[in-house]
């Protein structure tokens, strides 16, 4: 089992939180304490806060204005301290929320310390808004089993476009394509990379049904690993559902190891 330093674990947890969740930092003790967060409970809308000065009360006010439900992911730094967890619950309760499900689902966080060199795959990075449209269009096809959904496309595009992306930015988006014998280009897969401290989160790795089983997901993941390695980030992270044993196994074969599993509480405001 690979050993991670305290700083690496902190970066890894923050990285996971920024990509998936509303995250209560270990320092939480009151509604004014800093946290990171993400809006959930309103379709597929998502919005990230990476400003550590953002407080729980700010997030609750902003994220619940159009959504009656909120899911709050719990990482090790919060769950290991009963005082922090109870303070978090108290903040939500006093804001009018009722706990609907405790430990409703989990997220297996796996990480891989990067070697000195990796295989690279030549794919296109999203730099312009049109590039991003292509990436999101391909992503929707990949995650909706080949069926294009306009509402999902528009919602996801808006979410991605709300955060700076491209070389040198926190978010990097990639689209892989086949060039057919007639010269036409077929977009077949996508992946995203989000940088947080020493950790780089690989997410939204998806392959359209017609191109699956060819090792493209693995190649895209390795490509993202290579980008992270070239930019001197020491660890890459993925977040998976523990019950998806095939996917967990795939990343395990690539060298990723389980580090921690998150819990989630689902809250609802009002009746």
The CATH number for 227's domain is 3.40.630.30
The chain-wide mean pLDDT, for the chain, equals 77
- Cβ(177)–Cβ(208) under 8 Å? no
Domain for residue 157, yes or no? yes
Spell out the residues 6+ positions from residue 256 whose beta carbon is closer than 8 angstroms to its own.
Answer: 110, 111, 112, 238
Examine the domain organization and report whether 96 and 138 are in the same domain. Answer: no
Q: Residues 26, 72: one domain?
A: yes
Q: Which two tokens stand for residue 247?
A: 């996917």
The sign of the dihedral angle between the CA atoms of 261, 160, 201, 143 is positive
Rounded to 10°, the helix 82-94/56-63 angle is 40
Residue 256 counted as domain residue: no
Domain containing 195 equals 115-233
Does the global pTM surpass 0.75?
Answer: no
Residue 19 lies in a domain: yes
Residues 130 and 26 placed together within one structural domain of the fold:
no
Q: Indicate if 73 and 32 belong to the same structural domain.
A: yes
Let me know if residue 240 belongs to a domain.
no
Q: Is residue 243 part of a domain?
A: no
246 within domain boundaries: no
- Residue 96 C-alpha from the chain's centroid: 28
Tell me: do 139 and 188 sit in the same domain.
yes
Write out pLDDT tens, residues 223-252: 999 999 888 888 889 988 888 888 899 899
Number of domains the chain contains: 2
238 part of a folded domain: no
Please compute, for residue 35, the number of CA atoms within 13 A of its CA located in the half-sphere on the CB side.
Answer: 31
**What would you report as the CA-atom Rg of the chain, rounded to the nearest whole angstrom?**
19
Q: Are residues 143 and 189 in the same domain?
A: yes
Residue 252 lies in a domain: no
39 and 103 together in one domain = yes
* Alpha-carbon span 263 to 74, nearest angstrom: 5
Examine the domain organization and report whether 136 and 226 are in the same domain: yes
- Asked whether residue 145 falls in the same domain as residue 167, the answer is yes
pLDDT of residue 38: 42
Q: Which of 78-87, 113-122, 131-140 has the lowest mean pLDDT?
A: 113-122
């Amino acid at each position: 089992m690979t050993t991670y330093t305290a700083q690496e674990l902190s970066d890894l947890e923050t990285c996971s939180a920024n990509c998936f969740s509303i995250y209560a930092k270990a320092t939480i003790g009151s509604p004014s304490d800093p946290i990171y967060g993400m809006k959930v409970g309103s379709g597929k809308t998502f919005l990230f806060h990476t400003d550590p000065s953002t407080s729980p009360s700010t997030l609750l006010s902003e994220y619940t204005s159009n959504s009656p439900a909120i899911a709050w992911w719990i990482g090790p730094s919060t769950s290991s301290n009963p005082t922090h967890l109870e303070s978090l619950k108290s903040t939500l309760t006093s804001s009018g929320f009722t706990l609907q499900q405790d430990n409703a689902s989990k997220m297996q966080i796996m990480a891989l310390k990067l070697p000195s060199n990796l295989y690279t795959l030549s794919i296109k990075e999203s730099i312009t808004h049109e590039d991003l449209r292509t990436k999101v269009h391909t992503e929707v096809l990949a995650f909706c089993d080949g069926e294009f959904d306009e509402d999902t496309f528009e919602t996801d595009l808006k979410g991605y476009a709300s955060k700076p992306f491209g070389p040198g930015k926190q978010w990097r988006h990639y689209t892989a394509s086949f060039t057919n014998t007639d010269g036409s280009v077929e977009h077949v897969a996508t992946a995203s990379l989000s940088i947080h401290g020493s950790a780089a989160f690989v997410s939204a790795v998806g392959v359209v049904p017609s191109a699956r089983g060819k090792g493209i997901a693995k190649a895209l993941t390795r490509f993202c690993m290579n980008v992270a390695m070239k930019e001197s980030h020491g660890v890459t992270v993925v977040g998976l559902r523990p019950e998806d044993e095939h996917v967990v196994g795939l990343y395990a074969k690539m060298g990723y190891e389980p580090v921690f599993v998150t819990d989630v509480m689902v809250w609802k405001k009002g009746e």
